[in-house]
Amino acid sequence: AQTVTQSQPEMSVQEAETVTLSCTYDTSESDYYLFWYKQPPSRQMILVIRQEAYKQQNATENRFSVNFQKAAKSFSLKISDSQLGDAAMYFCAYRSCGNKLVFGAGTILRVKS
């Protein structure tokens, strides 16, 4: 079974600085997708970024980018120029061709002004 591990229960970053959230996963599949979702206090789960495993190029969405290391089964999220609105719980998720999402335990991100 696939598993997703987020080893940082909580992270802090100063406003305007950069922070990296870590995620590792375990799978025997070669074709899959990885996601980062953000869950603010409202608890609405919001898609941040997505990466297809067959693509070598790291995905980027504005201030958000990933470092995808397929051989190491690592998928970290970098947030640049952090803003107060980035404060939330961040979940790393894995999806195989079976389509269900497997989530990590989450990392709470605090942004200091």
Partner 1 sequence: DAGVTQSPTHLIKTRGQHVTLRCSPISGHKSVSWYQQVLGQGPQFIFQYYEKEERGRGNFPDRFSARQFPNYSSELNVNALLLGDSALYLCASSHNTDTQYFGPGTRLTVL
Comparing CB distances to partner 1, the nearer of 35 and 75 is: 35
Record the tokens describing residue 90, joined without a space. Answer: 């961040």
Q: Does residue 41 contact residue 49 with C-beta atoms inside 8 Å?
A: no
Contacts of 93 (CB under 8 A, 6+ apart): 4, 34, 35, 36, 37, 101, 102, 103, 104
Comparing CB distances to partner 1, the nearer of 11 and 101 is: 101
What are the residues binding partner 1 (CB under 8 A)? 4, 33, 35, 37, 42-47, 50, 91, 93, 95, 97-106
Closest distance to partner 1 from the beta carbon of 93 (Å): 8
Comparing CB distances to partner 1, the nearer of 68 and 91 is: 91
User: Tokens 């495993």 sit at which residue?
Assistant: 53
Closest distance to partner 1 from the beta carbon of 101 (Å): 6
